[in-house]
Structure 1
């Protein structure tokens, strides 16, 4: 005779695998309808102003109701009772009605439970740890740039080939959120964070002892895979702790970690390679990663309200109390598939434009400024990274507060929160300040005008403009489509690092072929295309978003 508990476990796990294409709310995004009612009044989603039960990413709502109803019926015959996740659906109302009524009382997540579980001090500690972790990937990505000629000499290759390793690194950065964003939903933010930090340390140590180019490429790529996870995990943590009208301010902390790490890492790399071996760069990164691991181990709590793994495990433990772990499958391509929604594709192109120009600017600095200003020491060209780094620091915090302010102002005008209003803040930096700064930087270098002061000043302004846009763009992904869960923000990181890969691999060849002036002109046109995408989202995005969600069955007409 078949063991009933084994059958139940199998049905739950099979249901995950078969129906993963239909995603419901995740703990990251359910906060969009569990916060300040004034901020959400009038939103088109039917559940925005109501408490809703926690649902499982990757399970079809209809299939879940039917499956758990069957399990309930079977278990009741054994004298047990199951609590499941009921979602009222047009053709499953009868069998799921009792489940839904029960769950609306016992499983609903109130605003207080969701956002006030931790003290302000604990929240701040979580944000600081998430922000500091954002240093790791860009430090690893760009801190070695001042040492590219020395690394090329060590492996008997060219600087262009070493920069290709940056392109490979960026490809693995784009893959990272497709793995670790859903993992943090399933197994928790803390567990995923600790695993990724530990593996980052191991892989960075292996980069430091690389004996050939292949070993250098492989383990640098793996540091990208694990190190980039902290951006998507950090975005989840912010979503767990703060309501949408506060979120961009704290999202800016996560972004600031990455942006400041990009520049300060390059400065530090220049100092290190000037006085010692390039390998020390990676040993320093290894030490920073180890410090982050222990910080998270002792001070980072689990911020996810209830993980998908814990929900499934509770059900299974009713029949098998000794069960400690259950594998929850997920689809790695779901984050990429989220780009079928036009809003996410347009927002993704905005971040593509930003990151393309960022790597176009930072990657070739030593090859551009050394001959222009007759610099002979890596430390001098490394100091050029301070200008955009200071801009990143100022822009990230200013941009986040500015984005939240714009949202609050338009809530007062409309009487409701429209996610696209947040993007109004991006128009000036994206359409004017950033492209103008890139053009002036490129052509003053090309024509050898203005001395050091002009390119340094406009590198600074480009940094401010870039990180004024990122908080609004990132938060828009989190707020606009809660039905997609972490796939929305994951798709943004996927697209931006593909752009980083293209820029890293092509910028030196472009500068050698057409010059830094025309290379920056191309970058400016890419930014203006991103500006056009922002305009489309601001004026047509709400209608496009709702229609797309209805089309793909995520909302009712």
Structure 2
């Protein structure tokens, strides 16, 4: 068996801690530093028979190497990010600003869900048209990385962040002004155009925010930091319908949009003053080369790098898992008014909007607890194995995938189907349903941010593409599906999706390293 703790210039653990005659020998403890961020998830794969010394530490594979797939793991010669040394208060400010900006965009994605009848009346259209528009907004949010990620590569991450904030602010204001158009047909056209254009900024904030945090937090802190960042991305979708339901009871529905403008304005000003510009080695030279010609600029907008990383089995399996979870998340958020109002004789958006408090709190707690638990899982595997692999954190979501979400979702759906338990049952089960979803999300989100450090922007963009594609399908089809087959069978379909996501995550957690070795041998997945 390999002595993982031994390395040149340092005695092995046996030489350091020889057991005394009076004390039974303790089992050896594997101690290998966690792989550095620039190589943390792309270890060089060599055959088990290759004994050439590696740069840094090597971990032998084979039968004695645990689940390393018969390959050696090597730490490449890299330099830790200088931004790891930022003071905690500065990192906390970055989390707050990025999370709040992402909250503003995520809030806009669902805030109009319970107001379809009011909006349709003002615009002279049907609620179905408004629902389809809301679904298209989710789809364009998934595509926003194809638009703004190239801008970030050309102009810089912070400049692209500020530019996207300005465009989102203007489009939201345009949506709010749509009902003031003179002609009824023009109102609807302006509303649809401005809403869809505002979606094109959406997940860019999610992607860039997670990339920022991955650049400033060490791996054993990254899950917790990502969890706090995701508070914004989950607070928005969860509490958007609740707040809009309250506001529309006392004011016009356009007041929701002006609130969104104020929120993104605060995020914009804060970003200008407090977000750092992080440049990686070679960024300046590459940017100059890309902007030296029109062809170079157009090449940066080529979406193929995002699609190429999807060729990696572990990436596409994780992307699909996020999509399946997102289906469940948005079907939970899109249907409450349709389900609760006729069953419990609720007559105003205010009362049905208050229902969203339960899943909202579940989302918030699930995000924080899930992020912390994923970090604890990483630390546990470092203690067991002596080094960490990025897929280790995926093990933290198994209880949610296979127990919490299925149990709560089935009780929620079939309880409403047979109208048992009163209003308390869907409120309580929605809380656990939402908490389980975000505990599962916490591990896969952080995994996407670190699985390919040099291509993390592309990986996260691919995740959100699939995530919001499934969100579009879920939010657009859940109400017709419930009308056709009932909420009980519809919930069962959602549980099947979550269980499938759990199986995909288990496969990635177990065989993720072998998948990367296969991709390296075949030369696929390189952006």
Is this a same-fold pair by TM over 0.5?
Answer: yes
Distance, in Å, in 2 between the alignment partners of 1:273 and 1:293 is: 26
Distance, in Å, in 1 between the alignment partners of 2:521 and 2:42 is: 22
Distance, in Å, in 2 between the alignment partners of 1:352 and 1:275 is: 36
Question: Alpha-carbon deviation of 1:305?
Answer: 3.5
Assess if the C-alpha contact under 8 Å between 1:34 and 1:49 holds in 2: no
User: Partner of 1:175 in structure 2?
Assistant: 143
User: In the alignment, which of 185, 189, 198 is matched to residue 157 of structure 2?
Assistant: 189
User: Partner of 1:348 in structure 2?
Assistant: 319
| Gap change, CA 1:400 and 1:313, over 3 Å in 2 | closer
User: Partner of 2:75 in structure 1?
Assistant: 48
User: In the alignment, which of 507, 510, 513 is matched to residue 539 of structure 1?
Assistant: 510
Residues 67-112 of structure 1: CA deviation (Å, up to 9, x unaligned)? xxxxxxxxxxxxxxxxxxxxxxxxxxxxxxxxxxxxxxxxxxx326
Distance, in Å, in 2 between the alignment partners of 1:316 and 1:446 is: 57
User: Partner of 1:166 in structure 2?
Assistant: 134
Distance, in Å, in 2 between the alignment partners of 1:471 and 1:186 is: 30
| Gap change, CA 1:226 and 1:435, over 3 Å in 2 | same
| Gap change, CA 1:182 and 1:246, over 3 Å in 2 | farther
Distance, in Å, in 2 between the alignment partners of 1:33 and 1:430 is: 24
User: In the alignment, which of 140, 149, 171 is matched to residue 117 of structure 2?
Assistant: 149
Assess if the C-alpha contact under 8 Å between 1:33 and 1:40 holds in 2: no
Question: Alpha-carbon deviation of 1:228?
Answer: 2.3
Question: Alpha-carbon deviation of 1:166?
Answer: 1.6
Residues 8-55 of structure 1: CA deviation (Å, up to 9, x unaligned)? xxxxxxxxxxxxxxxxxxxx97374799xxx9974979773412xxxx
| Paired residues, number | 459
Assess if the C-alpha contact under 8 Å between 1:197 and 1:289 holds in 2: yes
User: In the alignment, which of 390, 394, 397 is matched to residue 426 of structure 1?
Assistant: 397
Tell me which moved more, 493-502 or 235-244. Answer: 235-244
User: Partner of 1:246 in structure 2?
Assistant: 221
Question: Alpha-carbon deviation of 1:415?
Answer: 1.8
User: Partner of 2:520 in structure 1?
Assistant: 549
User: Partner of 2:384 in structure 1?
Assistant: 413
Question: Alpha-carbon deviation of 1:173?
Answer: 0.8
Does residue 255 (structure 1) correspond to residue 230 (structure 2)? The answer is yes
Distance, in Å, in 2 between the alignment partners of 1:498 and 1:488 is: 15
Distance, in Å, in 2 between the alignment partners of 1:281 and 1:214 is: 19
> Pairwise CA RMSD of aligned residues?
2.6
Q: TM-score normalised to the size of structure 1?
A: 0.78
Tell me which moved more, 180-189 or 214-223. Answer: 180-189
Assess if the C-alpha contact under 8 Å between 1:34 and 1:111 holds in 2: no
User: Partner of 2:299 in structure 1?
Assistant: 329
Trace 1:498-517 onto structure 2 (pairs within 5 A).
Answer: 498-517=469-488
Distance, in Å, in 1 between the alignment partners of 2:401 and 2:114 is: 28
| Gap change, CA 1:375 and 1:552, over 3 Å in 2 | same
Does residue 133 (structure 1) correspond to residue 101 (structure 2)? The answer is yes
Question: Alpha-carbon deviation of 1:176?
Answer: 0.8
User: Partner of 1:106 in structure 2?
Assistant: none
| Gap change, CA 1:402 and 1:455, over 3 Å in 2 | same
Does residue 292 (structure 1) correspond to residue 267 (structure 2)? The answer is yes
User: Partner of 1:111 in structure 2?
Assistant: 80
Q: In structure 2, the residue corresponding to 1:111 is in which secondary structure?
A: coil
Assess if the C-alpha contact under 8 Å between 1:177 and 1:228 holds in 2: yes
Distance, in Å, in 1 between the alignment partners of 2:400 and 2:168 is: 34
Distance, in Å, in 2 between the alignment partners of 1:40 and 1:164 is: 54
User: Partner of 1:398 in structure 2?
Assistant: 369
Distance, in Å, in 2 between the alignment partners of 1:220 and 1:553 is: 37
Assess if the C-alpha contact under 8 Å between 1:189 and 1:237 holds in 2: no
Assess if the C-alpha contact under 8 Å between 1:114 and 1:240 holds in 2: yes
Trace 1:18-97 onto structure 2 (pairs within 5 A).
Answer: 30=38, 32=40, 42=59, 48-51=75-78
User: Partner of 1:20 in structure 2?
Assistant: none
Distance, in Å, in 2 between the alignment partners of 1:514 and 1:347 is: 30
User: Partner of 2:285 in structure 1?
Assistant: 311
Assess if the C-alpha contact under 8 Å between 1:29 and 1:483 holds in 2: no
User: In the alignment, which of 331, 339, 342 is matched to residue 360 of structure 1?
Assistant: 331
Does residue 456 (structure 1) correspond to residue 427 (structure 2)? The answer is yes
> Structure 1: which 5+ residue stretches go unaligned?
1-27, 52-109
User: In the alignment, which of 454, 470, 475 is matched to residue 441 of structure 2?
Assistant: 470
Assess if the C-alpha contact under 8 Å between 1:41 and 1:415 holds in 2: no
Assess if the C-alpha contact under 8 Å between 2:450 and 2:456 holds in 1: no
User: In the alignment, which of 245, 248, 256 is matched to residue 273 of structure 1?
Assistant: 248
User: Partner of 1:58 in structure 2?
Assistant: none
| Gap change, CA 1:506 and 1:245, over 3 Å in 2 | same
Question: Alpha-carbon deviation of 1:552?
Answer: 1.9
Residues 234-258 of structure 1: CA deviation (Å, up to 9, x unaligned)? 0110111012221111111221111
| Gap change, CA 1:521 and 1:307, over 3 Å in 2 | farther
